[in-house]
Structure 1
Amino acid sequence: MNKARYTNKIPEDRGEVIKVIEEVKKPVKVMILGGVDSGKTTLAVFLTNELLKNGFKVGVIDSDVGQKGILPPGLISLGFPEKVFNSLEEIKAEKHYFVGTITPNQFFGEMITGVKLLVNEALDTADVLIIDTTGLIHGPGVELKRMKIEVIQPEIIIALQKKDELENIIRPFEKKAKVFRLKISENAKLHTREERRRIRREKWRKYFEQAQEYTISLQNMMISGTWIFQGEEVTKKEKEMLENLFKWIIFHGRKVSNKYFVVKADIGNFPRNFNKNTLLTCDFENLSNLIVGFIDKEGFCLGLGILKFINFREFTAQIITPLKKEDLENVVELRFGRIRVREDGEELGLLSREAL
């Protein structure tokens, strides 16, 4: 189910990295950069295991939200393995930060905030902190990696590259960190988009296989990641006006400043033109099978749920989650994600940030 597994069959230059990590002042932060299928996670597993065998306390931050090793996808996770392991999946997460999607696009704030908060948590415990990143290294990915490095300030940066595709990212930091430029291993395996989807499907399925359904009151719970409960509820007159004007059934509507936001279903299939600067809409069906995060008072994610239905009249939500009832008592906030997933692991699609 995981692409990366522990192996000793690695290029010699990886051993040189181990020597430097062992010799530098602790704690030390090590960030691994590389494109898709460059072997980042395989390297993270190797480094962690070798350091564990040499007696170091190692923390691992898995921030590759789409191809997560530490379950589940959609989160940034921190774990402290205590013994040699084969894949990141074997690591029990100490803390999670909720991103709620499988791609960092449109979610740079969450990606940077999550890694920074988990780094802060880890440095009280770890001698060495290994930070695995996404494969987004071009276009906006350059800026994401730059900002992440600036915020985290790793002492060691490892760049896995074929030619010089990471130079735009790492060159500005050569005087601030020890930079290793490593060639991508010839054993690195390429995966198709369908293979990646299949791997994620199995991870989603495994995470939710023991899930139970709960009816959760939203009355006293903070709701974030969405416009749905911001501002003031629209009046009956405003609701009827919008329904008549655009031929909608409106389940719920809010007025945020001078902008309306409505959860609706279309009556009939025809174009509807309106000014998106004053009116935003969410299709009611998009709230079904939506990933949500249960957030504790520290801002960390206790676990994921799949939203099945919102009863806007009673202000309750039906959600399935592997969390136990006693875990839910520590939840202070429900955060909406942007990917729809069934409990069997099948992904139903991504939503844009503006969709909710």
Structure 2
Amino acid sequence: MMNKSLYPSEVPDDRFEVLNNLKDSQKPIKILILGGLNSGKTTLTTFLANELLNLNYRVAIIDCDIGQKSILPPATISLSFPKTNFSNLYELKPYKSYFVGSTTPIQFFGDIVVGTKLLCDYAEDKADVVIVDTTGLITGSGADLKRMKIEMIKPDIIIALQKRNELKSILKPFENKIRIFYLKVYENAKSFSREERKEIRAEKWKEYFKTSKIYNIGFNDVIISGSRIFQGEKILKDEKYLLESLFKWKILYGVKCEGRYTIVKRDLANMVRQIDKNILYYIEPERFNNLIVGLIDEEGFCIGLGILKNINFENETLEILSPINEDEIKNLKEIRFGRIKVNENGEELGLLDRDLI
């Protein structure tokens, strides 16, 4: 499998200087690693974690890079507690994960910040050092995401990997509050094209879902979140009949919330329909096909991912393909809809806008 980083054979001296400074810090230490694409954040995470393990530190790693996920499953933020040396984050197993449901941070800032904060809080009680590996989005809205993450988790140390001074504007408000180490991007850091990144993701999706089976889960057996079609009260029979008559639809399912209707439908006639979507919002059932869903436990953490293969609105069941086992499914309390579509072969089929479902 293609991976982004391995334990480095050559390490610049400034990385060891940071490591020496960590020895004098009061535990637990929260370290946030920032840098743009191909800056070596994951390689640095791997180096620091291994060296700290060699010094008998209890280490926690939080993988926030949802676009190039190292600790599976994809589309989540994952926490791991490595016990022995490792060459790649991919080798590590998640102890806890938080579901984001996408491989791009845009539209999911709240999920990313909340998930990172929850996992940091969880890790602080169990580790001497918590290392947070972030995404490579550092301009525009990405700069806002980094600011929010810093403000929320309050790291003790920030390590900024820069080619020039691209992180200065993000970190200037924190320079007198948090210890910041500005490091140069390693000159031999490997670059990956967009296509290579997509190929890496495809391999990891395929690896994750390779031992999956189908589960049929009733609407009333779990909480269903992340889609407006499960918000509010089901429409009444006379409302359904009226909407079908007006718009020549077959309505498969419908709800109303605060005076607004959301329905799943099929067209029965080819006609022009004048519809105010602020009052009536409609969705074709195919929009849900192959959507990634998070399988959530009682604490709000993600016990695994599933691919939504079908929604049977008549029988009110979800058909979900997932690698989690029969014992794990017993802890399922909530199914949360994501916004990326993937098939079991690892092929990404598209991203949905957050408001589309």
TM-score range, shorter chain: over 0.9
Partners of 2:16 and 2:63 lie apart in 1 by 22
Match of 2:155 in 1: 154
Q: How far has the Cα of 1:277 moved from its partner?
A: 1.9
One-letter amino acid of the structure 2 residue matched with residue 204 of structure 1: W
Residue 262 (structure 1) aligned with residue 263 (structure 2): yes
Identical amino acids, percent of aligned pairs: 53
1:23 aligns to what SS in structure 2?
A: coil
Change (3 A) 1:249 1:167: farther
How many residue pairs are counted as aligned between the two chains?
356
Residue 12 (structure 1) aligned with residue 13 (structure 2): yes
Note the residue ranges of structure 1 that are not aligned, 5 or more in a row.
none
Partners of 1:48 and 1:273 lie apart in 2 by 59
Match of 1:187 in 2: 188
Change (3 A) 1:142 1:269: farther
Match of 1:166 in 2: 167
One-letter amino acid of the structure 2 residue matched with residue 276 of structure 1: K
One-letter amino acid of the structure 1 residue matched with residue 200 of structure 2: I
Match of 1:249 in 2: 250
Match of 1:318 in 2: 319
Residue-by-residue CA offset, 1:181-217 (whole Å, 9 max, x unaligned): 1111111222111111110010000000000111112
Partners of 1:14 and 1:187 lie apart in 2 by 14
Match of 2:141 in 1: 140
**If the length of structure 1 is used for normalisation, what is the TM-score?**
0.96
Residue 200 (structure 1) aligned with residue 201 (structure 2): yes
Relative to structure 2, which stretch is displaced further, 234-243 or 316-325? 234-243
Match of 2:33 in 1: 32
Partners of 1:55 and 1:110 lie apart in 2 by 33
Residue 344 (structure 1) aligned with residue 339 (structure 2): no
Q: How far has the Cα of 1:355 moved from its partner?
A: 1.2
Once the two structures are superposed, the pairs formed by residues 258-297 of structure 1 within 5 Å of their partners are: 258-266=259-267, 273-297=274-298
Q: How far has the Cα of 1:238 moved from its partner?
A: 2.9
One-letter amino acid of the structure 2 residue matched with residue 278 of structure 1: I
One-letter amino acid of the structure 2 residue matched with residue 188 of structure 1: A
Partners of 1:268 and 1:190 lie apart in 2 by 52
Match of 2:215 in 1: 214
Note the residue ranges of structure 2 that are not aligned, 5 or more in a row.
none
Change (3 A) 1:220 1:10: same
Change (3 A) 1:216 1:163: same
Q: How far has the Cα of 1:268 moved from its partner?
A: 6.6
Match of 2:302 in 1: 301
Q: How far has the Cα of 1:148 moved from its partner?
A: 0.7
Change (3 A) 1:312 1:67: same
Q: How far has the Cα of 1:272 moved from its partner?
A: 5.2
In the alignment, is the contact (CA less than 8 A) between 1:8 and 1:46 conserved in 2? Answer: no
Partners of 2:85 and 2:142 lie apart in 1 by 32
Change (3 A) 1:51 1:355: same
Residue-by-residue CA offset, 1:71-111 (whole Å, 9 max, x unaligned): 11100000011111111111111000000110111111110
Q: How far has the Cα of 1:178 moved from its partner?
A: 0.6
Coordinate RMSD, CA, aligned: 1.5
Q: How far has the Cα of 1:140 moved from its partner?
A: 1.1
Q: How far has the Cα of 1:235 moved from its partner?
A: 2.6
Change (3 A) 1:212 1:164: same
In the alignment, is the contact (CA less than 8 A) between 1:281 and 1:355 conserved in 2? Answer: no
Relative to structure 2, which stretch is displaced further, 267-276 or 142-151? 267-276
**If the length of structure 2 is used for normalisation, what is the TM-score?**
0.96
